[in-house]
Amino acid sequence: MPLWMSLLALASVSGQFATAPKPVISLQPPWTTAFQGESVLLTCNEFPINSPRETTWFYQNQGSQTSSTTPGNTRVVQETGKYQCQHNGSSLSGSVHLIFSSAALILQAPLSVFEGDTMVLRCLRRPGSALKTTTIYKNWEAQVPLRDGSDFRVHGAMLRDNGQYHCKADNESCCSVVSNTVEIQVQELFPHPQLTASPSQPTDGSPVNLTCETRLPPQRSDVQLQFCFFREGQALGSGCSSSPELQILAMRSEDTGSYWCQAQTVTLSVSKKSLRSYIHVRRAVPSVQIHTRPPQGSVFEGQELVLVCSVRGVPGPISVSWYRRSKVRVATEIALSRDAEFRIPTVKSSDAGKYYCEANSIPSTEVTIHMRVPVSHPVLTLSPPGSRATEGDVMTLRCEAQRGSLPILYRFFHEDALLKEIKATSWRKSSFRLPLTAEHSGSYYCTADNGLGPQHSAAVTLSVRVPVSHPVLTLSPPGAQAPEGDEMTLRCEAHRGSLPIQFRFFHEDALLKEIKATSWRESSFRLPLTAEHSGNYYCTADNGLGPQRSAAVTLSVIVPVSRPVLTLRAPGAQALVGDTVELHCEAQTGSPPILYRFYHNGVTLGSSSAPSGGGVSFNLSLTAEHSGNYSCEADNVLGAQRSEVMPLSVTVPASRPVLTLRAPGAQALVGDTVELHCKAQTGSPPILYRFYHDGVTLGNNSAPSGGGVSFNLSLTEEHSGNYSCEADNGVGTQRSEVVTLSITGLTGSRGGHVATGVTGVLLSLVGLAAVLLLFYYWLPGRAGGRPACDASSSSSHSDPQEPTYHNVPAWLEMQPVYSNVNPKGGDVVYSEVCHVQGRNKRAAAPTARLPEDKDSSVIYSQVKVYTPGSRSQLSASSAPHR
Ligand SMILES: *[C@@H]1O[C@H](CO)[C@@H](O)[C@H](O)[C@H]1NC(C)=O
Ligand SMILES: *[C@@H]1O[C@H](CO)[C@@H](O)[C@H](O)[C@H]1NC(C)=O
Ligand SMILES: *[C@@H]1O[C@H](CO)[C@@H](O)[C@H](O)[C@H]1NC(C)=O
Ligand SMILES: *[C@@H]1O[C@H](CO)[C@@H](O)[C@H](O)[C@H]1NC(C)=O
Ligand SMILES: *[C@@H]1O[C@H](CO)[C@@H](O)[C@H](O)[C@H]1NC(C)=O
Ligand SMILES: *[C@@H]1O[C@H](CO)[C@@H](O)[C@H](O)[C@H]1NC(C)=O
Ligand SMILES: *[C@@H]1O[C@H](CO)[C@@H](O)[C@H](O)[C@H]1NC(C)=O
Ligand SMILES: *[C@@H]1O[C@H](CO)[C@@H](O)[C@H](O)[C@H]1NC(C)=O
């Protein structure tokens, strides 16, 4: 086996053609040897040509190895050594050995020489060296001397130009100088081609492709090659061509022989032949076969029927005849190709039968044509019949064709989607059972197909009704409570169930609303709430397959409280201190619980809750402070309402009044004006005061806004006696203590019947004395004096319940005061007159004129003892006698 074949085989086996090709280094200038100091540009070429972004260079010299990366694919070098390059992802290039020589004479050779190239060797003297007449040596045999130039050229390099070359130059003075030796290895431009035949062992009449295969090195892939094919020394086809393939349409057995091919450059500089291949064209075994189009089992009436007679291995020209049954010739023709056809454009049922063909009297086997009947339109039936069914039912779908040859493929479709496929071989019908779900509503049809395409049935519509599920009743806004007047939306919704659905809403088992839902499985309506809408709600859903009922939802409608009414219930017509008044507050409407609050003059008195309706009461034990305005408030979750204001006035009964007599002097004299002052300390106005003298009414006076009243009396002798007053404010009268007035200067026997003349003199004398007294007592009073009643001698101080007035207001300072006293535990009443004792010296002067005034400041005018008769009048104010 030649070397190239094994190389080619190796390359094929190792798959090098498929991997990334090695890059190849080229040189500029193109020599592998240069003088020291010169530079060589290395280019790392990739095939097919590529412009890499960067190149990695490997450099090796005397055992040391370095690598460097340059942008692009070039690098300038000046160092002796081995160079290799690699692009990112590519394989490593072959190595290039460069020599930068210090010798005086070098032989420069190119990196590679291919067959047919012009090989140039350059013998170069170092500039300045005195060398002349150089000679090239191949394998130490002198070649032609290089005369003018230094180049040695070989045109059309061949393998025989391989060898070791050097050159020699003469040194003028003495000896000759020898250059370096260069080994030239001329490389194959392409290996010898290989001829392949496909198929390699053709039969008679079959086509054959011949291929002439060789390969150019990557760096010479631009070289144009021609290919020529030969059989037994004779060129095949129309001479050489650039295609490495030759197609032979029909090989004959005579074409058996020795074949070879030749690959050559266009310039014919290189030309190589393949080995000879012996191609044996086998003689074919005669075979005549018949088949039909369409295939024999699916021939339908009315179709075109083609009988095909396939002839192999029968030498031509071939005459083909077709026969029906036994020897009835149908047609004969001269076959132009190996498959002869006979057409029956419209086949009839009478054309059924057995057929065969003959080629050059060689018969084929028989083919039997059965005439198939096309299937008729099938009919789809559902059972149980009817267009409506309920979910869960099992429906039988049956598809049946009246006519048509078996087998028939039945297909069932639901909404154009294939549901089931059944091949019927015994009957012209098929059926299957379908358990129905809601999704099975829709349109159904079936198709029947026995070879001529599907025949469609009419569509059948089925509606699968789904029983309605338990509906859910929801109220919105949600919550178990809602205020009266709000609008509540009741929504009833069923998750499943065929439409239409009849929704019914019930309140306390009474039908509230009925809605038929046709598009959605829900219905709703709005209910403006009144108090009557409290209670249980539910809804039902019914689509004809039985009503379903929702769970009950309880709603309580909250009624806002109305304005409450406050009533004050007192035991009598008037509210008296000490009475119990019942305050009752009640709102007519309003959802419990209601919290009632009571207010007095805007201040909270208390509160009470009515958990289940009705009003609440609040009892108040009256004191004087309870007069004023009352109101109450009713409050439930929806807010509070305040009642109208109810005024209450608490009547305080008048206390026992105190009667005070004021005389201008220390003694009451006839003609004096005595002022009777009556005052009750407490008591609601108006108070009517009545004054009594010895039980007889003297007069009355009203104090409309509280306080006491006065009554003036111009004294006559009849005015001696017992005085009292009464306070009356409508809730009982109170009588004061009795004050006894004795008029000085008159004998008790006169009894008021005094002659005016005598009385007048007497009175004037007495009056003068009184005025003088007044004068003396008034002045010290102005100066800050105080009444000097002897407390120890007066029993009036012992009773704190009945205050006396001798210590109070200003008029006491200037006047003697007659006041009623109430001796403890006795019927004796002291009437005392206190006079103001001056502290200054002026008090001494009257003392001289009125010697009786010296010893005592208190005058006990009279001691009175109550008779039983008089007690009855004064019982209210007197204590029993001891
Ligand atoms: C080499 O190529 C790969 C993928 O193409 C890239 O990811 C990587 O960075 C390249 N390396 C260099 C040095 O360019
Ligand atoms: C030529 O010969 C001379 C003298 O003998 C010598 O000096 C010179 O180096 C030689 N030149 C070369 C290139 O060898
Ligand atoms: C010959 O080659 C042609 C074109 O490449 C192809 O179409 C044909 O099939 C081949 N014939 C054989 C026998 O390989
Ligand atoms: C208030 O008093 C009335 C009678 O005076 C009595 O019937 C009622 O129960 C009392 N109510 C309260 C809350 O004490
Ligand atoms: C009670 O109400 C009346 C009338 O509204 C008002 O004139 C009076 O001042 C009120 N009394 C009190 C104590 O608020
Ligand atoms: C008050 O006195 C007048 C006469 O001064 C008399 O007419 C009237 O009835 C008296 N009123 C009372 C309530 O006693
Ligand atoms: C009673 O008399 C006094 C003084 O004499 C006088 O100030 C007063 O106004 C009189 N009162 C009546 C009610 O007349
Ligand atoms: C005044 O009252 C006293 C005792 O209380 C009694 O003794 C006397 O008779 C009364 N005088 C008159 C005029 O009724």
- Of the ligands numbered here, which is closest to the C-alpha atom of 621? 4
Distance CA 412, CA 410 (A): 7
pLDDT, position 308: 92
- 52-67 exposure pattern, b = at least 16 Cβ within 10 A, e = fewer: beebbbbbeeeeeeee
**Three-class SS state of 104:** coil
Residue type at 106? I
- 197-228 exposure pattern, b = at least 16 Cβ within 10 A, e = fewer: beeeebbbbbebebbbbbbbbeebeebebbbb
* Residue percentage of the chain with pLDDT more than 70: 81
Residue spans in the chain of domains classed CATH 2.60.40.10: 3-187, 194-279, 287-372, 383-465, 472-558, 565-649, 658-741
Distance CA 9, CA 320 (A): 49
Which ligand 2 atom sits nearest the alpha carbon of residue 129? Answer: 13
Residue of 660, 673, 675, 713 best suited for mutating to test ligand 7, as the one with most atoms within 8 Å of CB = 675
pLDDT above 90 for 433 = yes
Query: What confidence category does residue 479 fall into, taking pLDDT thresholds of 50, 70 and 90?
Result: confident
Whether 442 is in the pocket of ligand 5, judged by its Cβ within 6 Å, is no
pLDDT, position 804: 32
Distances (CA, A) of 439 to 323, 415, 436, 464, 498: 58, 11, 8, 8, 11
Closest CA to 817 of 859, 854, 776: 859
Whether 699 is in the pocket of ligand 6, judged by its Cβ within 6 Å, is yes
Do residues 653 and 730 touch, judged by C-beta distance below 8 A? no
Could you count the other beta carbons within 10 Å of the beta carbon of residue 565? 16
pLDDT above 60 for 92 = yes
Is residue 458 exposed (0-12), middle (13-18) or buried (19+ Cβ within 10 Å)? Answer: exposed
- Of the ligands numbered here, which is closest to the C-alpha atom of 646? 5
Superfamily of domain 383-465: Immunoglobulins (2.60.40.10)
> What tokens does 316 get?
């031509």
pLDDT above 60 for 694 = yes
Q: Whose CA is nearest to atom 14 of ligand 1?
A: 88
Could you count the other beta carbons within 10 Å of the beta carbon of residue 460? 17
- The CATH class, in words, for 565-649 is mainly beta
How large is the average pLDDT for residues 63-68?
Answer: 90
Which ligand 6 atom sits nearest the alpha carbon of residue 728? Answer: 13
Do residues 531 and 473 touch, judged by C-beta distance below 8 A? no
pLDDT, position 283: 82
Do residues 431 and 382 touch, judged by C-beta distance below 8 A? no
> What tokens does 375 get?
């299937």
pLDDT single digits (tens) 564-586: 999 998 877 788 888 899 999 99
Distance CA 285, CA 533 (A): 105
Query: What confidence category does residue 494 fall into, taking pLDDT thresholds of 50, 70 and 90?
Result: very high
Do residues 687 and 680 touch, judged by C-beta distance below 8 A? yes
472-558 has which CATH code? 2.60.40.10
pLDDT single digits (tens) 307-344: 999 888 777 788 898 998 766 777 887 776 778 899 99
Distance CA 467, CA 543 (A): 7
pLDDT above 60 for 610 = yes
Whether 37 is in the pocket of ligand 5, judged by its Cβ within 6 Å, is no
Q: Whose CA is nearest to atom 1 of ligand 5?
A: 629
Residues near ligand 2 (Cβ within 6 A): 104, 129, 171, 173-174, 177
Backbone angles phi, psi at 260, to 5 degrees: -155, 165
Residues sharing a CB contact under 8 Å with residue 316, sequence separation 6 or more, in sequence order: 335
Cα 741 to averaged position of ligand 8 atoms, centre (Å): 10
Do residues 702 and 686 touch, judged by C-beta distance below 8 A? yes
Distance CA 354, CA 327 (A): 11
Distance CA 147, CA 153 (A): 13
Distance CA 391, CA 628 (A): 80
Distance CA 503, CA 550 (A): 11
User: Regarding predicted confidence, which is higher, 73 or 871?
Assistant: 73
Residue of 568, 582, 632 best suited for mutating to test ligand 4, as the one with most atoms within 8 Å of CB = 582
Residue of 710, 713, 715, 778 best suited for mutating to test ligand 7, as the one with most atoms within 8 Å of CB = 710
* Residue percentage of the chain with pLDDT more than 90: 43
pLDDT single digits (tens) 120-166: 999 888 888 777 778 889 998 888 777 656 788 888 899 889 999 99
Query: What confidence category does residue 480 fall into, taking pLDDT thresholds of 50, 70 and 90?
Result: confident
Distances (CA, A) of 159 to 41, 119, 129, 185, 263: 29, 12, 35, 8, 17
Residues sharing a CB contact under 8 Å with residue 260, sequence separation 6 or more, in sequence order: 195, 229, 230, 273, 274, 275, 276, 277
pLDDT, position 745: 60
pLDDT above 90 for 225 = yes
Distances (CA, A) of 676 to 464, 513, 661, 681, 789: 115, 89, 5, 16, 21
> What tokens does 480 get?
């178990």
Which ligand 5 atom sits nearest the alpha carbon of residue 628? Answer: 13
Distance CA 101, CA 124 (A): 11
Distance CA 180, CA 781 (A): 168
Query: What confidence category does residue 864 fall into, taking pLDDT thresholds of 50, 70 and 90?
Result: very low
Closest CA to 669 of 739, 738, 787, 772: 772
Q: Whose CA is nearest to atom 11 of ligand 6?
A: 700
Mean pLDDT for all residues in the chain: 80
DSSP-derived letter for residue 202 is P
Cα 760 to averaged position of ligand 8 atoms, centre (Å): 27
Task: Tell me how far the alpha carbon of residue 229 is from its chain's centroid.
Answer: 81
> What tokens does 242 get?
């650039």
Distance CA 405, CA 373 (A): 5
Do residues 93 and 27 touch, judged by C-beta distance below 8 A? no
pLDDT single digits (tens) 634-646: 998 888 999 999 9
pLDDT single digits (tens) 849-862: 333 333 333 333 33
How large is the average pLDDT for residues 754-762?
Answer: 31
Bridge partners (DSSP) listed for residue 462: 442
Q: Whose CA is nearest to atom 5 of ligand 7?
A: 673
pLDDT single digits (tens) 338-348: 788 999 999 98
* Residue position matching structure tokens 């019930």: 506
DSSP-derived letter for residue 845 is H
Q: Whose CA is nearest to atom 8 of ligand 7?
A: 712
Task: Tell me how far the alpha carbon of residue 260 is from its chain's centroid.
Answer: 82
Do residues 401 and 422 touch, judged by C-beta distance below 8 A? no
Cα 723 to averaged position of ligand 8 atoms, centre (Å): 10
SS3 content of the chain, % helix, strand, coil (to 5): 10, 50, 40
pLDDT above 90 for 474 = yes
Do residues 117 and 157 touch, judged by C-beta distance below 8 A? yes
Closest CA to 609 of 592, 632, 587, 629: 592
Give just the sign of the alpha carbon dihedral 709, 714, 715, 719: negative
Query: Highest mean pLDDT range out of 43-57, 391-405, 669-683?
Result: 391-405
pLDDT above 90 for 265 = yes
Task: Tell me how far the alpha carbon of residue 186 is from its chain's centroid.
Answer: 81
pLDDT single digits (tens) 503-531: 999 999 999 999 999 999 999 999 999 98
Backbone angles phi, psi at 555, to 5 degrees: -125, 135
Distance CA 474, CA 745 (A): 108
Q: Dmax of the chain from CA atoms?
A: 213
Distance CA 531, CA 495 (A): 32
Whether 582 is in the pocket of ligand 4, judged by its Cβ within 6 Å, is yes
Cis status of the peptide bond prior to 787, with omega within 30 of 0? no
**Dihedral angle, C-alpha 731, 733, 734, 735, nearest 10 °:** 170
- The CATH class, in words, for 194-279 is mainly beta
pLDDT single digits (tens) 800-842: 333 333 333 333 333 344 444 343 333 333 333 333 333 333 3
Q: Domain 3-187, CATH 2.60.40.10 — does that match?
A: yes
Residue of 692, 722, 738 best suited for mutating to test ligand 8, as the one with most atoms within 8 Å of CB = 722
Whether 722 is in the pocket of ligand 8, judged by its Cβ within 6 Å, is yes
Residues near ligand 3 (Cβ within 6 A): 198, 207, 209, 247
How large is the average pLDDT for residues 263-275?
Answer: 92
Cα 701 to averaged position of ligand 6 atoms, centre (Å): 8
Whether 864 is in the pocket of ligand 8, judged by its Cβ within 6 Å, is yes
Backbone angles phi, psi at 870, to 5 degrees: -70, -25
Whether 721 is in the pocket of ligand 8, judged by its Cβ within 6 Å, is yes
**Three-class SS state of 254:** helix
Could you count the other beta carbons within 10 Å of the beta carbon of residue 434? 19
Closest CA to 868 of 857, 880, 859: 880
Distance CA 179, CA 18 (A): 43
Cis status of the peptide bond prior to 477, with omega within 30 of 0? yes
How large is the average pLDDT for residues 3-18?
Answer: 35
Residue of 566, 568, 605, 629 best suited for mutating to test ligand 5, as the one with most atoms within 8 Å of CB = 629
Whether 866 is in the pocket of ligand 8, judged by its Cβ within 6 Å, is yes
Cα 747 to averaged position of ligand 3 atoms, centre (Å): 184
Which ligand 5 atom sits nearest the alpha carbon of residue 629? Answer: 1
pLDDT, position 20: 64
pLDDT, position 287: 86
Q: Which architecture characterizes domain 658-741 according to CATH?
A: Sandwich (2.60)
Do residues 109 and 182 touch, judged by C-beta distance below 8 A? yes
Whether 619 is in the pocket of ligand 4, judged by its Cβ within 6 Å, is yes
287-372 has which CATH code? 2.60.40.10
Is residue 439 exposed (0-12), middle (13-18) or buried (19+ Cβ within 10 Å)? Answer: exposed
pLDDT, position 327: 65
Closest CA to 266 of 294, 296, 227, 322: 227
Cα 615 to averaged position of ligand 4 atoms, centre (Å): 13
**Three-class SS state of 797:** helix
Residue of 131, 172, 173, 178 best suited for mutating to test ligand 2, as the one with most atoms within 8 Å of CB = 173
Do residues 339 and 309 touch, judged by C-beta distance below 8 A? yes
Is residue 405 exposed (0-12), middle (13-18) or buried (19+ Cβ within 10 Å)? Answer: middle
Bridge partners (DSSP) listed for residue 489: 476, 526
Cα 657 to averaged position of ligand 6 atoms, centre (Å): 19
Residue of 57, 88, 90 best suited for mutating to test ligand 1, as the one with most atoms within 8 Å of CB = 88
pLDDT, position 326: 64
Residues sharing a CB contact under 8 Å with residue 453, sequence separation 6 or more, in sequence order: none
How large is the average pLDDT for residues 82-88?
Answer: 91
HEC letters along 439-493 = HHCEEEEEEEECCCCCEECCCEEEEEECCCCCCEEEEECCCCEEECCCEEEEEEE
pLDDT, position 429: 92
> What tokens does 840 get?
């200054």
Whether 602 is in the pocket of ligand 5, judged by its Cβ within 6 Å, is no
Cα 646 to averaged position of ligand 5 atoms, centre (Å): 9
